[in-house]
Structure 1
Amino acid sequence: MKKIKNEAQLLKMAIAVGGTYAKNRGYKDFSPEMGQKEKVEIIYRLLVNDKLVAPLASDSEDLLSMKHRLAVWIKNKLPPDHELLK
């Protein structure tokens, strides 16, 4: 897995956008005590279910890989001149 420039900021944005997407799809809002790990897994599984993200192989489905997949997803959705892609 190749490290992406600004991956932490991209992940933060992916969680925010993914949370809004989940809410629009009918998922109740994330609770304040819910951790990042749970949010990442919920958003990842929803995007895989909706075929917006390719699923990871079952043997490599861990938190680090899910975070990376979400960062790649949001990176591909941003315009080429976005500040996080520079």
Structure 2
Amino acid sequence: MSKTAKLENEDKLFKKALEVGTKIAAMQGYTLTNQGTTPSMKAKAIYLFLVEVNQITPLPADKCDGKNIRKRLALWIHSALPDDDPLK
């Protein structure tokens, strides 16, 4: 897959990435609460957690914004899903 290619189900993949990322963080002892956090804050927290545990490569500092974090999380879960998953 090309780095610039648009993922077909990017919104659904992003939601799945938030769900899976939250579960992985909880299994590692991190609690990401929904209370008082915006979706973009939660996405950044999950992104930073996944970078810390070496699940994804960090974005360059000048590209670390909401749109790029969203894309990176969607790409991460896309590569982690089995080939027969309906989101692929």
Segments of structure 1 that go 5 or more residues without pairing to the other structure are none
The separation in 2 between residues aligned to 1:5 and 1:47, in whole angstroms, is 23
More helix as a share of residues: 1
Indicate whether 1:17 and 2:20 are aligned: yes
Alignment pair present for 1:59 and 2:62: yes
With normalisation by structure 1, the TM-score equals 0.91
Contact 2:13–2:77 (8 Å) recurs in 1: yes
Which letter maps to 2:73? L
1:15-71 CA distances to partner (integer Å, 9 max, x unpaired)? 000011111111124133322111100100011011110000011110110010000
Seq. identity, % = 34
Q: Which segments of structure 1 move beyond 4 Å, counting only runs of 4 or more?
A: none
Counterpart secondary structure, 1:84:
coil
RMSD after superposition: 1.1
Q: Which runs of 5+ in 2 are unaligned?
A: none
Aligned match of 2:8 in 5, 8, 18?
5
> Aligned partner of 2:17: which letter?
A
**Count of paired positions:** 85
